[in-house]
Structure 1
């Protein structure tokens, strides 16, 4: 009778059942779909909009699902990718600018598997496809916003230095400060040169003015910084969305590529990536008359903006800002303890906090407004000169005041923003601020679904080669080790099931082509472990041990060798994960999991099957099929 512990049999059975169950959803491929969301965060898709979209798809003769509500979005399943692309254009033309239509992939996993939390493992862009965005950085806005900021810095520097000036203006990349006389101009040169070190000061002339220009080196540095800052901010935004194996990289001088494999909420991703949302804190000027506000003609140094949610109310703000969104280092959504309204708690960096403290300290009792600036990018279908339908990018910028409050005391690095409509809007604003304000507006110049990046034919050829190699290994083990070879082959297939199940269970784990290479490698290592065990058993049989003793001694003597070999590979996998990025990390994760599962199936799995075959009877077996 076998002396092998029964709990190991149950452990093996439980591992195969659980992992097999959670590996099942991978047999159900995702279906192409379109996802429709309201352009305003938190707003739902109305039944009228749903019926209009479904009716338009019917008129176009496209096969589609009934449409299901997922969160605040409408998900309509399509028959194939070609129908999905046509449906996106039809839905966008039908609904107009009030809704965002994006491409998506809808899960087809049966409900009973979903109820136990089973879902397919995440696939990278090279296997699953996903959404591809190409973003254009507006370089003109980079220069304009930076020069306007330097204009404010110049005015503040001259005030602190006690130098009176007539005007400070900006024209392109040139900043000009005009004074009453040459004495004041000479006194302003040193403080301006120190405060605006990126600008080159022109030699003094006869007129009482100082001219400073942005040189080519500083301009290139500014543009490179804007693209890199936008790339970093977009990468943080993608991470906030929870997209695994996302790619955010620079392309050329002023473009950024964003690839989102298997995106679950493409509409939200498009809205967040295509938005440049930032804040400016400015002083409010209440001295402007109501008639002047209605006329829209702002006095010098002021700008008029509408107040959100209060139609007809206009607020006059100073042109110079106290602090801006790029000085925000943290932003969290919360609720006002008094009225329960949503708010955003903001933390500024040292420069923003110092300027906020200095300006608010001098203006206690005066109102301060929060100006919300948002740039949206939309794609519209237009007819070109040749009569073809092409995509045209349109950008629009909205500026409105979301909050006006009286400065009760000197403010520092922490304060809160109120005046938001709903928690979803507050949460999205906090996300955009927390992820980092974009240094310049971006426009989505291209959006498309991405098939496997290596091509369907290459992937099919790769899978065929993997299947061929696996088949040869199985045949070799069967011929060379007979019944024990069959045991090894069953354990090998069980190993693949456990790997897929574990990968499906781990949140955020993603399978890519390098990951498949990791699986193939672990398959070879699992066979290698079985070869070591079986050769030990053969040696013990030649030494004259009985079949049962040979099995016990073979597994016991091979265990140390297998453990040492796999520990060294585990160390390599840990180093690859710690030092690598992207696909290298995916390979390391798959390799790490595969090593552990191969040891489990090679040592426990094959031993359990051998015991079931040769250790169940009362009489000891006379020989082994090995």
Structure 2
């Protein structure tokens, strides 16, 4: 007898039951839905603790707003509510009741039971089109990147010429990638070219006229700088968003100089802009003590210096040469010194530590200024319709270099501990390499996301209904077995997508599930048709079942393997939406092969083994 019980068949049953049970457990959180919630974070200097929780409870109690729960997790307070109306009222009350050093945002959080959370069972991460949230399309200001690069090149060229005692009259920028240096005569011009070219391989240095030279940045170097600026901005924005505890945010590049940011669940666009738009950084410069600021109207400022204002209102002359920028800061914390004055503790990377160490070693006894630099929106628009950002600089500290510094040092001269805490948070989040302009912003409400989910659910439901009708009419009892496999297939798809990290379900992903469910029937059709062929040729029922599964196996594998390859290609070359479709399709192919081949075969064996059957219901 071909379909008899054996040790391997028992193993197959155990494996099948185990997979279905595990898949069902991890698919279960998706049926509990989300709770409207208000999320409170202390990213502007506010400390988050149990006292803050008590304060929020008092605010809601005074406004007669009932909450399902208020929990403090990972330095974030989540207040859950039973409906959106209560969420909106609570948001307004909490925003009004808390100080300005908190960020209050509306969110959607899963209502998964604790026993499922203990098993690390969480619902599928939903994309912006299903869950709602905030979408930004941001453009990196590449002109600012080029300007910063030119300033560094001019400073480096001037330093090299001074070290070699090559006299020059003037150095200036003539275009976005060209620097022109006026020399005294041809002799100094030729000396400059011969000396500078080997030291600046990223520049093409040529004679321009009788006594001047041109330094043009190579295209390859410019492209490398642009790519580096884009990648660093993306990493910094991703770090900022991740620290807020937003589930599955999307931060990715689009085109040459644009970045797409999607924050699922967040419904407050003003606070979302505040989260990602901060452009604060630090610059360390040497103070020019040769300039006495008794009469600022008649004073002569040399080309290598400029005037900057302190936070006390005074004006100080500093050299244009930037010793170090906030790009090298790896960590910053706020604390108090021995006199109980606020300070910020700075940690630098290895490159930054070497720069500051070498500089302070050679400049002991001199004054070094710390500039706080921030780009702020002026409220005006340029010809492209982009917001015009204004660079604001302020000296927050002037320190006497008393000894050689290293990777760790402190900044003092900050007025309050709140300002020190805010500065440390901004620096810790990372300084953007270049300013960013918000080209497009939009809010997708949770009601629209819910509508998309309902439409996707209806699409799945009707596809299942038509498949069920078709397979029952054509294959009767074997069709009923295939239907069970189809439902198991759907459960496994949802369970696997819930387990896999980084997988986000979008509308194209739902389309992939619908397509997979309809195509999954093909495997059962192939098996059932092979069984019917064997029966028509006069074979016994047990042999027909055996040959049906064996003969259809190669066709099923070939068909699904080619589809799997297509899904892999779509994932590699496609955008985020296409990738979502590819992922769900690939998962569905694997689960459908498992349920169609192993699942239905196990059920058939269980129903027909050791039985004498005169006729199959197929």
Under a length normalisation based on structure 2, what TM-score does the superposition of the two structures give? Answer: 0.72
- Counterparts of 1:371-386 in structure 2, within 5 Å, are 371=370, 373=372, 375=374
Of residues 391, 407, 418 in structure 2, which corresponds to 1:416? Answer: 407
Provide the C-alpha distance between the structure 2 equivalents of 1:495 and 1:175, rounded to a whole number of angstroms: 63
Of residues 13, 19, 40 in structure 2, which corresponds to 1:15? Answer: 19
Q: Which residue of 2 aligns with 1:589?
A: 583
Provide the C-alpha distance between the structure 1 equivalents of 2:70 and 2:24, rounded to a whole number of angstroms: 31
Q: Which residue of 2 aligns with 1:259?
A: 262
Q: 1:586 to 1:97 in 2, by over 3 A?
A: same
Q: Which residue of 2 aligns with 1:555?
A: 549
Under a length normalisation based on structure 1, what TM-score does the superposition of the two structures give? Answer: 0.72
- Counterparts of 1:69-80 in structure 2, within 5 Å, are 69-80=72-83
1:120 to partner: Cα distance: 0.5
1:486 to partner: Cα distance: 0.4
Residue 37 of structure 2 corresponds to residue 33 of structure 1? yes
- Counterparts of 1:313-462 in structure 2, within 5 Å, are 318-325=319-326, 328=328, 331=330, 344-348=347-351, 356=355, 360=359, 363=362, 365=364, 371=370, 373=372, 375=374, 400=396, 408=404, 416-419=407-410, 429=427, 432=430, 437-442=431-436, 449-451=443-445, 457=451, 460-462=454-456
- Counterparts of 1:472-621 in structure 2, within 5 Å, are 472-615=466-609, 618-621=610-613
Q: Which residue of 1 aligns with 2:340?
A: none
**Residue deviations 1:315-336 (CA, integer Å, cap 9, x gap):** 996442124345x5x95899xx
Provide the C-alpha distance between the structure 2 equivalents of 1:332 and 1:440, rounded to a whole number of angstroms: 20
Provide the C-alpha distance between the structure 2 equivalents of 1:566 and 1:481, rounded to a whole number of angstroms: 22
Provide the C-alpha distance between the structure 2 equivalents of 1:70 and 1:394, rounded to a whole number of angstroms: 37
Q: Which residue of 2 aligns with 1:97?
A: 100
Q: Which residue of 2 aligns with 1:117?
A: 120
Of residues 2, 22, 35 in structure 1, which corresponds to 2:4? Answer: 2
1:478 to partner: Cα distance: 0.9
Provide the C-alpha distance between the structure 2 equivalents of 1:174 and 1:526, rounded to a whole number of angstroms: 58
8 Å contact kept, 1:151–1:175? no
Q: 1:595 to 1:140 in 2, by over 3 A?
A: closer
Q: Which runs of 5+ in 2 are unaligned?
A: 334-343, 380-388, 412-416
**Residue deviations 1:62-90 (CA, integer Å, cap 9, x gap):** 55445221221222224444654564454
8 Å contact kept, 2:141–2:435? yes
8 Å contact kept, 2:49–2:72? no
8 Å contact kept, 2:330–2:428? yes
Provide the C-alpha distance between the structure 2 equivalents of 1:227 and 1:569, rounded to a whole number of angstroms: 38
User: How many aligned residue pairs are there?
Assistant: 573
Residue 127 of structure 2 corresponds to residue 128 of structure 1? no
Q: 1:100 to 1:405 in 2, by over 3 A?
A: farther
Provide the C-alpha distance between the structure 1 equivalents of 2:88 and 2:192, rounded to a whole number of angstroms: 59
Q: 1:24 to 1:184 in 2, by over 3 A?
A: same
1:476 to partner: Cα distance: 0.9
8 Å contact kept, 1:344–1:426? no
Q: 1:534 to 1:101 in 2, by over 3 A?
A: same
**Residue deviations 1:118-172 (CA, integer Å, cap 9, x gap):** 1011111121222334657679966875675566346435524535579989999
Provide the C-alpha distance between the structure 1 equivalents of 2:20 and 2:300, rounded to a whole number of angstroms: 73
1:491 to partner: Cα distance: 0.5
SS of 1:14's partner is: helix
Provide the C-alpha distance between the structure 1 equivalents of 2:399 and 2:541, rounded to a whole number of angstroms: 84
8 Å contact kept, 1:64–1:78? yes
Q: 1:46 to 1:394 in 2, by over 3 A?
A: farther
8 Å contact kept, 2:180–2:215? no
8 Å contact kept, 1:303–1:317? yes
8 Å contact kept, 1:141–1:441? yes
**Residue deviations 1:437-483 (CA, integer Å, cap 9, x gap):** 52433477987642379876565444423321220111111111001
Provide the C-alpha distance between the structure 2 equivalents of 1:315 and 1:8, rounded to a whole number of angstroms: 80
Provide the C-alpha distance between the structure 2 equivalents of 1:458 and 1:9, rounded to a whole number of angstroms: 38
Provide the C-alpha distance between the structure 1 equivalents of 2:36 and 2:93, rounded to a whole number of angstroms: 15
Q: 1:128 to 1:442 in 2, by over 3 A?
A: same
8 Å contact kept, 1:487–1:609? yes
SS of 2:47's partner is: coil
Provide the C-alpha distance between the structure 1 equivalents of 2:604 and 2:398, rounded to a whole number of angstroms: 73
SS of 1:490's partner is: helix
Provide the C-alpha distance between the structure 1 equivalents of 2:91 and 2:58, rounded to a whole number of angstroms: 14
Provide the C-alpha distance between the structure 2 equivalents of 1:298 and 1:213, rounded to a whole number of angstroms: 29
8 Å contact kept, 2:229–2:433? yes
Q: 1:503 to 1:431 in 2, by over 3 A?
A: same
* Structure 1 stretch displaced more, 556-565 or 14-23: 556-565
Provide the C-alpha distance between the structure 2 equivalents of 1:622 and 1:379, rounded to a whole number of angstroms: 86
Provide the C-alpha distance between the structure 2 equivalents of 1:143 and 1:161, rounded to a whole number of angstroms: 27
1:400 to partner: Cα distance: 3.9
8 Å contact kept, 1:19–1:497? yes
Q: Which residue of 2 aligns with 1:44?
A: 47
1:564 to partner: Cα distance: 1.9
Q: 1:225 to 1:469 in 2, by over 3 A?
A: same
Q: Which residue of 2 aligns with 1:273?
A: 276
Q: Which runs of 5+ in 1 are unaligned?
A: 335-340, 381-392, 410-414
